[in-house]
Amino acid sequence: MTQLENKSGLMIGGGIFAAFAASLCCIGPLVLTLLGISGAAVLSKFEILRWPMIILVTILFAIAGYSLYRKRNACEPGSLCADPKKWRQMAIAYWLGLCIAVMAISSPYWVAWFFG
């Protein structure tokens, strides 16, 4: 396994974490208000981190996707792409993580539509 393949799962998890951090300013106050916790407007201070986190999500998922889908025909023995079952599990994790990240990043828009 190459070093980049070993870190694909870490990049996917980091991308999901960064996506939730990017949506913290927008969906956080709504969730805390629905739970009855006061002072939720403090989370709106995280708006300044929204675009840097979106850029981080894009970079992490681009690296993870590149390491997952590159040179699939020329697999080295013992690499991720050599075992179809492991590769499929990682591909499912990648696409599921990407969907979660997109939902988290786009949350200010669909939450406003849903509750507005």
For residue 95, the enclosing domain spans 3-115
What pLDDT, on the 0 to 100 scale, is given for residue 40?
Answer: 59
- Which bin fits 70, alpha (ψ -120 to 50), beta or left (φ > 0)? beta
pLDDT at 106 over 80: yes
What pTM, to 2 d.p., does this model score?
0.69
Instruction: Work out how many domains the chain is built from and give that number.
Output: 1
For tokens 């990240």, what's the residue? 101
* pLDDT tens, residue by residue, 19-40: 777 776 666 666 666 777 666 5
Q: ∠ CA 84-3-82 to the nearest 5 degrees? A: 15
